[in-house]
Amino acid sequence: MEELVARVTQATGLDATTAQKAIGLILAFLQKEGPPQEVGQLIAAMPGAETAIAQAGDGGPGEGGGGLMGMLGGMMGGGVMALGQKLMSAGVPMGQMQPLGRELFAYGREKAGEDVMGPIVGSIPGLGQFV
């Protein structure tokens, strides 16, 4: 996980603590929304992923759901908009979400392969714009 955190901090300018929490939030989101088999393979291929998910404390639907993004996320049933709200609440500026996603998914492709990452991205509406 240290390698991924270092890559994300370099790509986004986030501090390591915020980067680690953001990675955990994204992986927790993928666990909920993505195809279980492929997400399981991704998490298994990323050392420290389970710990990052646990430390991120995903928080569920009620956490940090305020403001316009929270309202939009609620109207859309959660999904990518709700993830965006959680990331902003964790200290990730809107402009850093795309570089964060790109780096995380590039790392995922390196560790688990495109045959794992492709179905994950394809199965979650709106995710493609962040990777």
CATH code given to domain 1-129? 1.10.490
Find out whether 50 and 28 touch, Cβ atoms under 8 Å. Answer: no
Report the candidate in 87, 66, 108, 78 with the shortest Cα–Cα distance to residue 20: 87
User: Domain map of the chain by residue range?
Assistant: 1-129
Map tokens 């088999």 to a residue. Answer: 37
pLDDT in tens, the chain (131 residues): 999 999 999 999 999 999 999 999 999 999 999 999 999 999 999 999 999 999 998 654 444 444 454 444 444 456 888 999 999 999 999 999 999 999 999 999 999 999 999 999 999 988 888 78
pLDDT of residue 128: 84
C-alpha pair distances (Å), 28 with each of 31, 43, 60: 5, 10, 10
Choose among 52, 6, 45: nearest CA to 25. 52
Q: How many CB atoms lie within 10 A of CB 71?
A: 13
